[in-house]
Amino acid sequence: MREVTNRLSQTAEGLASVSPILKLAADKDVKMPIVEQVLAVMEGRMEPRDIAPTLTHETDEPTSE
């Protein structure tokens, strides 16, 4: 995360919130795939361009958990 903030010329709102949000979600058994992928990008485990394909589904219908 330090590398991300060092490279930005603007305030990166919410970066410090990603980990606590995921912990709270896990404690409540809530899935947050977008936030999980943001964290993966921040940690260098995923490229930003790779997020979109993983979030698309064949239909726009909601899926059950």
pLDDT at 59: 56
Q: How far is CA 34 from CA 11, 31, 39, 44, 59, in A?
A: 20, 9, 9, 15, 18
In percent, how much of the chain has pLDDT > 70? Answer: 65
The predicted structure's pLDDT at residue 22: 96
Q: Residue 53's pLDDT band (boundaries 50, 70, 90)?
A: confident
The predicted structure's pLDDT at residue 24: 96
- Structure confidence at residue 51 (pLDDT): 85
pLDDT of residue 26: 96
Q: What average pLDDT does the segment 47-60 reach?
A: 75
**Domain locations along the chain:** 16-47
pLDDT of residue 13: 67
Residues 34, 24 contacting (CB under 8 angstroms): no
